[in-house]
């Protein structure tokens, strides 16, 4: 398995540019998408949304085929679709807000048909009800929706992120509230064909008593059937029996104290952000029920990572946070696809704490979602 994964990664090309979604630091100027040279970090061009203080948050986790990138301004409750078919000349192709009763899109994944499946956090303006899922065309047209509300669950639910499992006709969503209104302890499983909610299942607590709280990011492993889920409280779970009538979750690893946000999967390796280190942890998932730590990359004091995304070559990882010492910075790490070892690229360090941009002297910005070009 390891040799096959390494061969697939080395065969890939691309990643010449970085697309970085950023908010104006003082919220007096427009949010924007910046195009960077992925080798030098030089800013090549920008595309403005025309919205101030929109809180640039998540983009898609990787650059999709077709050249259209979704990026949400969570504070504004809007999502922008950037046309990146000409990578150095980005433009805004569309924007959209609510999907029926669903509000505040958060995360996006591509469906096999090229459409986007998005999680929406809320079902009303006061955040009293769960959001759900929406299928959206590549140009931002809402096609169908499904609510995450589950009266039989009797638990707090706010759809956060998602993984699509075409082989099993399933979607897995996590549940955490961006507004911290409640503590979530579940994930949800849906049928992909009709977006019917099938199960709301609890995550079992571990020795620390909170590893199961606030599920963050589900990821599909290369076998196309196995889904792993990390929580913001740094537990890692394997979903067992995903296609059955009795799915469950198994705690397989505890990253320890701190906050664990986005991971990436590179071959058989799971790379996890963690603020407790602070830095990245690499796990070998050859046996998903028994992960093995292969490396830890410690960043500088206060450099607490939140967002990471993997390059098409399977080796470069872009790092951002929007907080503390990484508020305005981007870092680059590298993973060895053969052994999972991590290293910081000391030749790459980018700051958005600057006056001048291609669109004018709008001043410092805060980067968040960032992906490599295909």
Q: Which residues contact 12 (CB under 8 A, 6 or more apart)?
A: 312, 313, 314
User: Is residue 2's pLDDT more than 50?
Assistant: no
C-alpha to C-alpha distance for 141 and 127, rounded to whole angstroms: 24
- pLDDT at residue 33 above 60? yes
Torsions phi, psi for 2 (to 5 deg): -65, -45
Give pLDDT, residue 6.
37
Separation CA 276–CA 291 (nearest Å): 19
**Global confidence as pTM:** 0.94
pLDDT at res. 54: 86
The reported pLDDT for the residue numbered 65 is 95
Tokens of 169: 């006709």
Phi, psi of 341 (to 5 degrees): -70, 145
d(CA 299, CA 167): 38
Q: What is the number of other CB atoms lying within 10 angstroms of the CB of residue 256?
A: 13
- The enclosing H or E element of 369 equals strand 365-372
Q: How much is the pLDDT for 13?
A: 57
> Which band of pLDDT confidence, cut at 50, 70 and 90, is reported for residue 11?
very low
Percent of the chain residues past pLDDT 70, beyond the cut: 97
- The number of C-alpha atoms within 13 Å of 374 and in the hemisphere containing its C-beta is 13
Confidence of residue 154 (pLDDT cuts 50, 70, 90): confident
Taking the C-alpha atoms of residue 72 and residue 79, their distance in angstroms, rounded to an integer, is 4
Q: Which residue, chain included where needed, has tokens 């059937």? A: 225
Q: Yes or no: say if 249 and 201 are a contact pair by the CB < 8 Å rule.
A: yes
- Cα–Cα distance between 254 and 221 in angstroms, integer? 19
Does residue 100 carry a pLDDT above 80? yes
pLDDT tens digits for range 221-245? 999 999 999 999 999 999 999 999 9
Please give the Cα distance from 344 to 335 (Å, whole number): 9
Above 50 in pLDDT, residue 7? no
Identify the pLDDT of residue 180: 86
Sequence-distant (≥ 6) Cβ neighbours of residue 325 within 8 angstroms: 300, 301, 302, 303, 304
Dump pLDDT digits (tens) for 53-91.
Answer: 888 999 999 999 999 999 999 999 999 999 999 999 999
What is the per-residue pLDDT across 159-188, written as a single tens digit (0 to 9) for each? 999 999 999 999 999 999 998 888 999 999
Q: Over 60: is that where the pLDDT of 134 sits?
A: yes
Query: What is the predicted pLDDT for the residue at 151?
Result: 92
Nearest to 74 by CA among 49, 48, 97: 97
Does residue 161 contact residue 216 with C-beta atoms inside 8 Å? yes
Task: Specify burial of residue 144 (Cβ count, 10 A radius: 0-12, 13-18, 19+).
Answer: middle
| pLDDT the model gives residue 14 | 84
Over the stretch 267-285, which tens digit does the pLDDT of each residue have? 999 999 999 999 999 999 9
Mean pLDDT over residues 293-318, rounded? 97
In angstroms, rounded to a whole number, what is the distance separating the alpha carbons of residues 145 and 133?
6
- Degrees (nearest 5) of the Cα angle 282, 159, 65? 65
For the segment 316-335, the average pLDDT, to the nearest whole number, is 95
Report d(CA 83, CA 370) in Å as an integer.
15
Residue 241 is predicted with a pLDDT of 98
């Amino acid at each position: 398995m390891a040799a096959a994964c390494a061969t697939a990664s080395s065969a890939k090309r691309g990643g010449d540019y970085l697309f970085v979604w950023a908010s104006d630091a003082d919220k007096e100027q427009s949010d924007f998408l910046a195009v960077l040279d992925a080798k030098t970090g030089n800013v090549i061009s920008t595309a403005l949304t025309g919205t101030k203080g929109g809180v640039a948050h998540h983009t898609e986790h990787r650059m999709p085929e077709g050249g259209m990138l979704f990026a949400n301004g969570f504070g504004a409750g809007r999502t922008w679709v950037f046309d990146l078919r000409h990578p150095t000349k980005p433009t805004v192709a569309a924007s959209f807000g609510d999907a029926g009763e669903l509000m505040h899109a958060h995360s996006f994944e591509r469906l096999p048909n090229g459409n986007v499946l998005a999680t929406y956090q809320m079902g009303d303006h006061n955040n009293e009800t769960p959001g759900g899922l929406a299928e959206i065309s590549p140009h931002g047209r809402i096609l169908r929706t499904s609510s995450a509300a589950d009266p039989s669950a009797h638990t707090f639910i706010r759809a956060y992120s998602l993984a699509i499992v075409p082989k099993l006709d399933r979607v897995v969503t996590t549940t955490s509230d961006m507004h911290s209104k409640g503590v979530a302890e579940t994930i949800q499983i849906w049928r992909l064909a009709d977006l019917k909610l099938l199960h709301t299942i609890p995550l079992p607590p571990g020795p620390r008593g909170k590893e199961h709280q606030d599920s963050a990011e589900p990821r599909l492993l290369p076998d196309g059937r196995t889904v792993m889920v990390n929580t913001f409280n740094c537990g890692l779970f394997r979903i067992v029996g995903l296609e059955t009538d009795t799915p469950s979750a198994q705690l397989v690893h505890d990253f320890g104290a701190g906050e664990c946000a986005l991971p990436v999967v590179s071959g058989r390796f799971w790379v996890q952000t963690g603020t407790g280190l602070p830095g990245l942890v690499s796990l070998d998932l050859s046996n998903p029920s028994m992960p093995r730590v292969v490396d830890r990359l410690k960043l500088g004091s206060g450099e607490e990572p939140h967002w990471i995304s993997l390059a098409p070559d399977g080796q470069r990882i872009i790092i951002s946070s929007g907080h503390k010492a990484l508020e305005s910075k981007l870092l680059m790490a590298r993973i060895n696809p053969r052994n999972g070892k991590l290293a910081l690229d000391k030749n790459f360090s980018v700051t958005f704490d600057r006056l001048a941009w291609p669109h004018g002297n709008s001043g410092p910005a805060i980067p968040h979602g960032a992906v490599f070009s295909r």
